[in-house]
Structure formats: C-alpha cells, structure tokens
Chain A
Amino acid sequence: MASQGAGRRADPHGARGTALTVEETYDCRDAFAAELVRLARADDRIVAVCNDSVGSSKLAAFARKFPERLINVGIAEQDMVGIGAGLANAGLVPFVCGAATFLTARALEQIKADVAYSLANVKLCGMSPGLAYGALGPTHHSTEDLSWLRAIADLPVVVPADPAQTSAAVRWAAQTTGPAFLRIGRFPVPDVSPPGEPAFTYGRAARLRDGADATLVATGTMVSRALSAAALLAGHGVDARVVNVSTISPLDREEIVAAARQTGAVVTAEEAVPTGGLGAAVAEVVLETRPVPMRLLGPRTFAPTGETAFLLEHFGLTAGGIARATLDVLGLDAGGLGAGGLGAGGLGAGGAGGVGVDDG
C-alpha cells in the first residue's frame, strides 16, 4: 500500500517546533487500484479502459484477475474516451484511466460531448495529475485539468486527498449512475481523513480543523500541507481553519460561504492553475456571497525542470508557502516564515523521485 515515498521519515518543519507528527505517505493510485479490483469482483459490469497505461494506471492486478474486462486501446485517448461512452451505452460501467494530462487535454471534446453532454455512465480517472511527473516537464504536467473540467456541465470533478478518500470516491463513482472525473494522485501523501467519519461525501467539503482567523481551502496533495500550515500559523498566533475540498465541481458553497463569513480571509492551494481550478471556484462563491480578502496558490506558469517536491516548493505549495500567503492576506508580518525559512519544507518532501510515464 505504501508508496515508494512511504516510510520516509522527513520532518520538514524541523527545529521550528511545530510539533508535526512524522507520517507514512502513500501513492493514491494503489488505493484506487485495490478498490477497483474489489468492486469489479462484486460487479461484472465494471471494466477498465486505458491507453497503454496498465502500469502507470496500476491496472496490472485488475488485468490479471479480469483479463477480458481490461480494454487497453493503445496510445489513443480520443478513441479511449469514446469507447468508454460506448461501453456505458452497452450497459457496462467503464473506468477510463490515463495520465491526467493526456486523458483530459487530448480527449477534452470527447469528455464534453460523448460523456458529459451524453450523460454517459463513464468514470474518467486522471492518473498522476498536477506536477506529479516532475522533471518529465510541463508537457506531462496536468495543471489545467481542473479548470477545463470544472467548466463542463454535469461532470462531477473529484480530487481525493488520501488513500481513504480515494477508495471511498471510487466506491461512490461505481455506485452512482452518470459521468464523473476522479483525479488520482501519485505524489505521496499522508492520511488526512479523520478516522471514524465517512472519508468522502460527494459534494461536501470536510472541515479538518476549525479556526477563526482565516480558512485554508485545499484539495488533493495540498490538504496535508494546509494542515501543516495551520500548525505553523498557530505558532504565529493565527487560528486557521482547514477545509478539504474533494469535490471541486459541484462545489460545497455552504462551507465556502461559512469560511468567508466566519473567518474573514481565505487562502486556496491546489496542484493546478488557480485560474479556473479550485482557487477560481472558491473565489467565485466568495465574490458572489461574502467578499473577503483571498490568496490563490497554484502554479501560474509552466514549471521549470525539477522533481515534484522541488516544483511544489518553487510554486510556494508547501506548508510554509501556504502559511506565508495566509499571513500576507491577514496583513501580518511573515517574520520567520520568510522565503528560505520554513517555506523550503513541506510535508511529503522528498517526493516521488524520478518517475517515468510508464514505470508504474
């Protein structure tokens, strides 16, 4: 279950005394793959479709158990998504898997017309999204997907933040008739879901930490970092709320309005361009209901060369970066959180190391 990054005992916050626990980290694709096999065992309508991505979509076990139900179309994403729509028409429940950038960019029109507009029962699974492909470069980064897909009507956009959320979201997708997009992370993340509660509720954001001074709204890989940022901010006398938005579309407006009204400042963080992604989605609601100062964190340029962890740091997508943005939006001095300080760290630092598209 634990990923290649698992078990790394990094304490990214070191001597600053934020008392963060050191945690195991996981590649959410493993939870995705295991859940899909479990579901497929019980429901023979479930099939997997992929674009020569058996390894990188973690479908090897599925292929072994259900060889006739794995439809690998080769390197042909338009074909793949159209085939998914056709399989759904024939009464099956296809999980269409591919690297998020190729799935969403190459087949965007199929996603719009064949899946969403046709209300086809297709589960689109964007693997290794955001900056997960690190030094493979911007051609392989999927940072626009949330903006593109959020613009499409009737297409739920779901971004699980940890293995428990991933499993629960896959179950939800299998049990719900209609289109959905699941963004399945590769970059190692720790568990963030509170034990004893449903890990994922469609359309509902989860308040992982209450707070009165500002709200950190995060999704996917950024959720654990937002929690770390809140811990850092506590040391600066700032009581930050943390909200995990795992359904980007439709957004939990109520939770966002409550954040704006009750805390008066909102910072968003995502491994995607905020111009259209989570940041824009939250900003729209805040603007329409209770305008408050905001900061929208996310890559706004094509990434330079570097591993994922480096790139996240480069774009300020670390606990320190989120904390700095929060102090900034509150008009407070960043002090010890200045660049080169805590900002250099981040939970899960160390990252996935060198990865290839097809290295599994």
Chain B
Amino acid sequence: MPDHDAIGAWRRLRDRLAHADRAARAAALAALAGGIRRTAISTIHAAGLGHTGGDLSVTDILTTLYGAVLRIDPARPDWPERDRLILSKGHCSVALYTTLTTCGFFPADRLATFAAPMSPLNGHPSRRAVPGVETSSGPLGHGLPVGVGVAVGLRLRGSPARTVVVLGDGELQEGSNWEAAMTAAHRGLSSLTAVIDRNGLQQGARTGDTNDLEPLADKWRAFGWEVAEVDGHDHLALLDAVTAPHAGSRPRCVIARTVKGRGVSFMEDRVEWHHKVPDAEQTRMALEELR
C-alpha cells in the first residue's frame, strides 16, 4: 500500500526543511498546505461528502506536524518507535487522508474512492483500513484518552516517541476530554501534546453561543497543562509551539486559533460550511482562490 515515490518526495522535503532557513521553511510548508487544501476540496466535491470547513481549518496543523515534526516512517506505519498523531476530530478525515498521501502512506489516487462503496476511506478514519490512522475516530471526545494511553504506554516501554492529539474546539464540550486532561497532568505526560483547532464554530453555531469554552487557556492551565496560543495558520508559529523545549513534566496544549473554511473567501467563518459540499462552480472558485 505505501507509495514509495511519494515517500521519497516527502523524505526529501523533510531533509530540506530541516536545513532550510525560516523563510524557506515557511514557504515550503505553505506550498504543501495549499496543495492539500486543493486536493481536499476536489475530493469532497467528487465524493459529495465531507466536512469542508473543518478540513480547511485543520490543514495547516496537519501540514506542520507531518511536514516538520513527527518522526514517522510511512513505509512502516506500525513502526513501534514512531510518533503518534491521533486526529480526534475524525470528521476532518479528508484533510488527514490527503496529508497521509502526501507522506506516502498510500497512493494519492485512492482519494478518488473517498466515501465510495467499499473504499477504505470512510467518512471517518478507520484504523483497520487506513495505514497511518492510529485509532478509529469520529465520535467526539475519544482522541485524548487514547493519546494519554499511548503516552503512558510508550513511557512504560522506555520509548522517547511523542504523541500528538489534534482536537476540534467544539468537541471539548465532551467531558471525556477533561477526564483525560486530568490523567495526563497527574501522570506528568510531557511527551503528550494536544493541538486544538480553535476555529470557534461547531456544527450548528459558534461555540461561544452554544456552550462557551472560554476562558479556554485558563481551563487547560487549571488542569495542569502548559499552554501556548498561536495563529493556527502560521506554520512556523505552530512548529515553534509544538517543538519548544519542555520546562517540566506537564503535557502541552497548543491552542491554534484558526478560521473555519480558511483559504476560500466564501467559506471562511461560515457555520453552514461545516459539512456543506461545494458544487461545481463553488469548487472552481475555491480552487482558483487556493491557487
């Protein structure tokens, strides 16, 4: 299943980024993210299904992590010493699938099967079907407990690998996250990072009008986490926040301030684009804007 050409390209990119100056690094990640956004829009349009707004808000987070942070080997998705990325907001599967193809976990042409009968690429990622998916997600509030378990397990095994959980902001209304947040802090899981795609919108309305999460950073601090707040579309800011040296044993929360529908003017910060699918003309316009 691995796409060895894509893996080669991804490895060369990782090498280049490791040695590039900040401006070059930022430009390369921006180019990568632009390609992922375009592919995601096309994939959603072709399938007639997807969570367009959230896919676009989480893209820069996934791009930064897979492009410059995670120690992984797409040719060996089960490599025991790999870093783990868990996409808790599983409805943004298209952004994840597209990013995984960019790394070469599986060939990009599989994206054309997204949501089609018998495709491994379901609306929500399945661990049993998709290389690179660490746990099946979709129901919200599941990723962080799993991430805590991974981090505890890796530490028990003496592995230095890190665990990153990418969460939506709306899903923080699920209590299971706060159970896991307590456990992570209690156990001093400094190898665990939660990145929150803080786009401020959930399916039906603004998070602030539904069940307000603020003061969000204070909540995480009160739960024993160190917190960084960054522009979630600034790749270098994300990179710095995720890779900053640890001061102590606390797990890290990166609140990535994002815009739902980022990059497509008529989708940005519009609640209806949570799972609206662009028609042919909207797709054409979106791809034009994302050029």
Which residues of A come within 8 Å of B, CB atoms?
Answer: 47, 68-69, 71, 73-74, 76, 78-92, 94, 109-110, 113-114, 117-120
**CA A120 – CA B145 in complex, angstroms?**
14
- Complex Cα gap A78–B135 (Å): 15
Instruction: Please name all residues of chain A whose beta carbon is closer than 8 Å to the beta carbon of B126 when the two chains form the complex.
Output: 117-118
| B199, CB-defined interface residue at 8 Å | no
Contact A84 B149, beta carbon cutoff 8 Å: yes
List 9 interface pairs A-B (beta carbons < 8 Å), by A numbering: A74-B182, A79-B176, A82-B144, A83-B149, A86-B145, A86-B153, A113-B137, A113-B142, A117-B136
The residue among A68, A76, A90 with the most chain B CB atoms within 10 A of its own CB is A90
B44 close to chain A: CB less than 8 A = no
A218 to B278, CA, bound (A): 56
B179, A114: Cβ atoms under 8 Å? no
**A69-B156, A82-B149, A89-B150 known, 18 other contacts, Cβ within 8 Å:** A79-B180, A81-B145, A82-B142, A82-B148, A86-B146, A86-B147, A86-B153, A87-B150, A88-B149, A89-B135, A90-B150, A90-B152, A90-B153, A91-B80, A113-B136, A117-B126, A119-B127, A119-B128
The 8 Å CB contact of A114, one of B80, B146, B182, is: B146
- Decide yes or no whether B84 CB sits under 8 A from chain A: yes
Q: Residue B141 at the A interface, CB < 8 A? A: yes
A156–B127 CA distance with the chains assembled, in angstroms: 19
Instruction: Say whether B8 faces chain A, with CB atoms less than 8 Å apart.
Output: no
The answer to the question of B194 belonging to the interface, with a C-beta cut-off of 8 Å to chain A, is no
Contacts A117-B128, A119-B128 known; A79 to B136 CB distance under 8 Å?
no
From residue B28, how far is it (CB to closest CB) to chain A in Å? 30
Could you tell me how many residues of chain B have their Cβ less than 8 Å away from some Cβ of chain A? 34
Question: Cα distance A74–B178 when bound, in Å?
Answer: 13
Contact residue among A73, A86, A110 (Cβ-Cβ distance under 8 Å from B150): A86
Closest to B150 in A: A86
Establish whether residues A85 and B152, one from each chain, have CB atoms under 8 Å apart when the complex forms.
no
B127 touching A79 by the CB < 8 A rule? no
Asked if B48 is an interface residue, CB under 8 A from chain A, the answer is no
The chain B residue with its CB closest to the CB of A83 is B149
B138 at the A interface (CB under 8 A): yes
Distance of A156 from chain B, by nearest CB (Å) = 16
CA distance A68 to B155 in the complex (A): 11
Task: Closest A residue to B161 by CB, please name it.
Answer: A90
B259 within 8 A of A: no
In chain B between 146 and 194, which residues have their CB closer than 8 angstroms to a CB of chain A? 146-154, 156-157, 159, 163, 175-176, 179-180, 182-183
Nearest to A119 among chain B residues (CB) is: B128
B145 in contact with A82 (CB, 8 Å): yes
